[in-house]
Chain A
Amino acid sequence: MQQDSTYQVGTIAVRLLSAGEGATVLFLHGPGGLPAWSGFFESLSKKFRVIVPEHPGFGTDAHAECIRDVADLAMYYLDFLDGLGPGPVHLIGHSLGGWVAAELATRNCTQLKSLTLIAPAGLRVKGVPMGDNFIWLPEELTRNLYHDQRLADEILTRPITDEDADRQLTNRFMAARLGWQPRWFSPRLSQWLHRITVPILLIWGREDQLIPSSYATAWENGIPHLGSYLIAGCGHVPFVEKPAETARAILEFLGSDA
């Protein structure tokens, strides 16, 4: 059973889901906000202490004025890691969270044991446009995020409370703050990727319509020691659409460190 707590770094308190014991896995979520605790996190938490924070400005807290961009968020998580203990962590980031994780790792890898990027934002491939999550209609967004349209149907028919709707809107505001322009990438990131010295795994859904899986090449080119794992029949959110396969790939990568 996961814990739902609050964690304070500097002036910003964030919500934290956590479970399990052992070496720490820190999961940084995407623009959609704090993910529901699921079988994916459950299987990681059988071997690791899994920590899933809600980024500043997401959820119910719209007051994170000092986080103006992804660079700020990366610095925030360096502070976060300094206070977390004990010892370095396995860092996982999805989409926006993958971008934050990569920015963090280019600045300082000393608190990291490994890095896993799932469909990360952060790089651009010229001539291969990303999808436009800010212009898509709500239904279109859900349909484009998942390859399996039965899953999209199921998500679309879930009732949404007013509280959920407010939360989604808050997340959307913060996502725009961080990723609107340049859209989901930093023109400066690619030149510093060589500073990522820890083992690194890249996971991508082959049918990702938000950030095409061909973007994996840009990461492979920038980080020669990176391992790549492509999931067939999967969109932008592999840990929701293919949770078992995604967890298996990560657990295999993390190997005997548990």
Chain B
Amino acid sequence: MPYRPLDFAERAKHRSAWVVLPNDLYDPRKGADEYESYLDQLTYAEKLGFDIIAVNEHHQTAYGMMPAPNLIASALIQRTKNAKIAILGRALPLVSNPIAIAEEFAMLDNLSRGRIITGFVRGIGTEYHATGINPVFSHGRFHEAHDLIVAAWTKIGPFEFEGEHYNFRYVNLWPRPYQTPHPPIWIPSQGSSETIKWAAAPERKYPFLVTFSAADLVTRYLNLYREQARSYGYECSGDRLGWAAPIYVADTDERAKAEAKAGIESLFNEYLANPWEMLLPPGYTSLSSMKNTMKLRKSLGSRARNQTIDDLMASGTVVVGSPATVREKIESMRERTGLEIIVAMLQFGVLSDELTRRNMELFATEVMPRLRR
């Protein structure tokens, strides 16, 4: 849900579109129009036959206008009848009271009569600059908040929660969630072996979505999940494996690329681009994986270069083309990984309403039906 009317000349004067970009660049009148457009787009998805409509959370950024995704989810529940509403996800470590997240999700589950899917994330690194939460405790807080929320959903209260980061004398959720034992929990991630190991554990078996990654990484991480499941002694079904990627469909490959170019390149170079210091604050990843990242950085140089749509298509980070091309790319990923979930990001960067809708329609009519089995 990017703020599309962004003044890109002003944006270029700042190190990031996150946290440090002055918010006088946000015009509430234009922003209100943006919310209306996005809500209409998301609602339109149900009419087009999408199974799930997904939203997510990011803070202090022109990249996304959804610091509180449950507000949008709530509006979508009122505007839709059958589609599932997925909140992918809420960033657990950022809150001082995870019970509030358990409560909100339980409310949405009741309001929708069991149509919600929840997502648990840590947020990206910039979120720790934005909220002040110490990134060193991010993993610990995530796991503990997860345990607390699931307990709040499943255990009869009141009970006491005794943790390292969170302590509550009374946990007693009113309302309890509508779905039994609780709404599905999905784990969107850019991929890390620690997260995969945790998500695939037999007591969780949480669907795992790889986001914003090159095709070979998506393949690697989804297969890592599969292998991890096997090592736990079970076979992972495809409905636990997902891929979230920007997708653009037009009647020909050439047209698709021409129409998607500005949206894709603005997404990666203007909205998403961040210095390492903002993206990976100390402790956000483990010390050992950070050491590897830093060695990579040494070879890449400190500033990421701009990516073109050709680069991003070539790496398979985005899927752009005719219906046949897009089907083929997704089928090929399914063959390599067995995935059954595609989170199609059909609006990205500055992509206009008109092109977004056309993209949604073509995806829904020419791609989606043929992927269903």
Contacts and interface: CB of A to CB of B under 8 A. Distances in A.
Contacts of B283: 173, 176-177
Interface residues of A, number: 21
Interface string B199-215: 00000000000000000
B302 A177 contact: no
B291 A134 contact: no
Interface in A142-194: 162, 165-166, 169-170, 172-173, 175-177, 180-183
Interface string B256-299: 00000000000000000001011001110001001100110010
Contacts of A135: 19-20, 129, 277-278
Interface of A: 62, 134-139, 162, 165-166, 169-170, 172-173, 175-177, 180-183
A137 B301 CA distance: 12
A180 B277 contact: no
Interface residues of B, number: 24
A174 to B, nearest CB: 8
B135 interface: yes
A145 B14 CA distance: 21
Interface string B286-318: 010011001100100010000000000000000
Contact of B281 (A62, A176, A182): A176
A134 B136 contact: no
Contact of A169 (B129, B137, B275, B294): B294
Nearest to A133: B277
Contacts of A165: 291, 294-295, 298
Contacts of B278: 135
A162 B292 CA distance: 11
6 contacts: A136-B277, A137-B275, A166-B291, A170-B287, A176-B281, A176-B282
A28 B277 CA distance: 26
A91 B135 CA distance: 31
B139 to A, nearest CB: 12
A181 B134 contact: yes
* Shortest beta-carbon contacts, A-B, top 3: A176-B282, A180-B134, A177-B136
Most chain A CB neighbours (cut-off 10 Å) among B294, B295, B298, B302? B294
